């Protein structure tokens, strides 16, 4: 089947957008909340307050982000079980995801505070930034169990091609976060800690709603959970192997964002705050394009579960075409409306000045990053986590010396290194995808 024929398949367009549209709406609520938090804290009088929220959020997202495998691994296995019509398998994947989330929340909760302390010592921030960042992070950790439960729940719903439940979970979580942040920070005058308290309450609200929604979703996929199977290691090994590789991949990705934050903090409070505002633009782009990637995960996993090669090709072409168009629109938005984007987030003059200086890098990012988002969706649906891991490690290994070479260019060097990292990541994933396609390996694992 040619690319042109695949693009002309209207039922695939409808299936892609039936999943992508709700996910784009719900995903966009995540960076919009970050924008609201930045706008609320950014209109407090001092740059170190915005910097504290930015650094504290970065540290928390580093902890939570490395556990993104709970969402990604659950999606792939749930999608393949749905493609086989295996209701019992769907129940097993859901329970395994939730149990893993609870275990990891307990372990990471004990390690997070010493990790945060060590990270702040590495950054060598001002005294004001240090104190408020610690208070923000310690409060934020109270929502860790709910955040990991949400990962497992959203991934499982996506695997069953149910986009409405993730929409409900993420909208409740993020819109309540925005409303509570406005109330706590501005209304109750709780400052930076108020934004953290708002996020914690919102995460627990979303987790409780997600658990309630699983009952109706399970009725649509009849089957029985094999309780004795949960006690056998062989039934945990595939999920843990995929999650191990995605964990390593996520750890490398979050390390890149952490290093950006560390280097920005060393360049001053205004620089770290400005970089945080621009990275909100990257979040906006990433979460929107991830809506199409999530649709691709579910459709590719379903096609692989059914061993339907033409459906796999049509899904990849249609989702890829729409992703490219969307990335072009985001690039134009940041190029033409970037000043307004920055001004809406803060009225601190020195932060605005620094952010506008580096705005062109943000305009280029969507066109560079779109390929890695799209190909991640393909590999997640195929539960091909090892290739995702290796591509990320290649990009990370090349970017570190590149960053050292460009260190003399200060924040310009930091942004050039980040662009290089995203470009190498997309190219590496593309090479792996081409190799698997030539070997006819996409369906081998699901068949086995």
Q: Which residues of 390-400 are buried (b: 16+ CB within 10 A; e: fewer)?
A: bbbbbbbebbe
Largest separation between any pair of C-alpha atoms in the chain: 62
Alpha-carbon span 67 to 84, nearest angstrom: 27
pLDDT of residue 290: 82
**Is 99 a residue whose pLDDT tops 80?**
yes
Q: Are 334 and 358 in contact (CB under 8 A)?
A: no
**Joined tokens for residue 123:** 């950054």
Sign (positive or negative) of CA dihedral 301, 303, 309, 312: negative
C-alpha torsion sign, points 41, 286, 260, 66: positive
How many residues belong to the chain? 448
Report phi then psi at 302, rounded to 5.
-65, -45
Average pLDDT over residues 392-406: 91
Q: Which residue has the tokens 């090892």?
A: 386
Q: How many other C-beta atoms can be found within 10 angstroms of the C-beta atom of residue 322?
A: 21
The Cα–Cα gap between 121 and 115 comes to: 10
CB neighbours of 318 closer than 8 A, spacing ≥ 6? 6, 7, 9, 12, 13, 16
In the predicted structure, residue 31 carries a pLDDT above the cut 60: no
User: What would the two tokens of residue 135 be?
Assistant: 């208070």
Q: Give the mean pLDDT of the chain.
A: 81
User: Which pTM was predicted?
Assistant: 0.69
Burial 78-87 (b: 16+ CB within 10 A, else e): bbbbbbeebb
Helix (H), strand (E) counts: the chain: 18, 0
Per the rule left: phi > 0, alpha: psi between -120 and 50, beta: everything else, 384 is: beta
Tokens of 327: 């990335």
Whether residue 367 contacts residue 328, with contact meaning beta carbons closer than 8 Å, is answered with yes
Q: Which residues of 143-162 are buried (b: 16+ CB within 10 A; e: fewer)?
A: bbbbbbbbbbbbbbbbbbbb
- Residue 160: pLDDT over 70: yes
| Rounded Cα gap, residues 119 and 262, in angstroms | 8
Q: Is the pLDDT of residue 234 over 50?
A: yes
pLDDT in tens, 244-285: 887 888 788 878 877 777 777 777 778 878 888 888 888 888
Number of domains in the chain: 1
HSE-CB at 205 with a 13 A cutoff on CA atoms is 16
Could you give the CA distance from residue 161 to residue 155 in angstroms, rounded to a whole number? 10
3-state secondary structure of 273: helix
CB 407 within 8 A of CB 262: no
Per-residue confidence (pLDDT) for residue 392, from 0 to 100:
93
* pLDDT value of position 126: 65
- Position with higher pLDDT, 58 vs 383: 383
Distance, CA of 53 to CA of 191 (rounded, Å): 10
Measured between alpha carbons, how far is 210 from 188 in angstroms, rounded to an integer?
A: 29
On the 0-12 / 13-18 / 19+ scale of CB atoms within 10 A, 325 is exposed
Range of the domain at 222: 3-447
High-pLDDT (> 70) share of the chain, %: 86
22 compared with 197, residue with greater pLDDT: 197
pLDDT value of residue 154: 87
Burial class for 186, CB neighbours closer than 10 Å (0-12, 13-18, 19+): middle
DSSP state letter for 44: S
Residues 376, 382: Cα–Cα separation, whole Å: 10
pLDDT at 242: 72
Q: Among the listed ranges 6-10, 72-76, 207-211, 309-313, which one has the minimum average pLDDT value?
A: 72-76
Confidence of residue 327 (pLDDT cuts 50, 70, 90): very high
């Amino acid at each position: 089947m040619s690319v042109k024929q695949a693009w002309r398949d209207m039922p695939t367009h409808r299936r892609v957008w039936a999943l992508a549209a709700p996910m784009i709406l719900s995903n966009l609520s995540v960076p919009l909340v970050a924008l609201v938090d930045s706008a609320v804290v950014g209109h407090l009088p001092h740059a170190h307050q915005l910097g504290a929220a930015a650094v504290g959020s970065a540290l928390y997202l580093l902890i939570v982000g490395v556990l993104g495998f709970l969402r990604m691994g659950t999606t792939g296995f749930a999608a393949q079980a749905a493609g086989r019509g295996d209701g019992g398998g769907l129940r097993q994947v859901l329970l395994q995801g939730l149990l893993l989330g609870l275990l990891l929340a307990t372990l990471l909760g004990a390690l997070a505070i010493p990790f945060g302390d060590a990270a702040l010592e590495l950054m060598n921030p001002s005294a004001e930034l240090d104190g408020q960042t610690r208070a923000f992070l310690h409060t934020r950790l109270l929502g860790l169990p709910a955040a990991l439960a949400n990962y497992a729940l959203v991934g499982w719903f996506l695997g069953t091609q149910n986009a409405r439940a993730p929409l409900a979970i993420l909208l409740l979580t993020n819109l309540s976060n925005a409303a509570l942040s406005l109330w706590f920070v501005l209304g109750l005058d709780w400052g930076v800690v108020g934004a953290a308290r708002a996020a914690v309450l919102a995460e627990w609200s979303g987790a409780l709603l997600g658990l309630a929604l699983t009952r109706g979703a399970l009725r649509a996929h009849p089957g029985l959970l094999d309780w004795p199977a949960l006690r056998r290691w062989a039934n945990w090994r595939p999920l843990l192997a995929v999650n191990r590789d995605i964990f390593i991949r996520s750890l490398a990705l979050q390390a890149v964002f952490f290093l950006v934050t560390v280097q920005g903090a060393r360049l001053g409070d205004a620089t770290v705050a400005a970089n945080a505002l621009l990275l909100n633009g990257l979040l906006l782009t990433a979460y929107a394009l991830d809506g199409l990637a999530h649709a691709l995960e579910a459709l590719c996993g379903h096609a692989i579960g059914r061993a339907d090669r033409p459906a796999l090709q049509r899904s990849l072409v249609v989702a890829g075409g729409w992703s490219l168009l969307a990335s072009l629109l985001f690039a134009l938005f940041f190029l033409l409306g970037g000043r307004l984007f920055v001004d809406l987030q803060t009225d601190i003059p020195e932060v605005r000045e620094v952010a506008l200086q580096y705005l062109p890098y943000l305009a280029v990012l969507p066109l560079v990053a779109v390929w890695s988002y799209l190909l991640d969706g393909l590999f997640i649906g195929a539960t091909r986590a090892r290739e995702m891991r290796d591509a990320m490690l290649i990009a990370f290994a090349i970017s570190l010396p590149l960053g050292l070479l460009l260190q003399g260019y200060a924040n310009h060097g930091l942004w050039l290194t980040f662009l290089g990292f995203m470009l190498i990541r997309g190219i590496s994933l593309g090479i792996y995808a081409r190799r698997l396609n030539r070997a006819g390996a996409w369906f081998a694992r699901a068949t086995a």
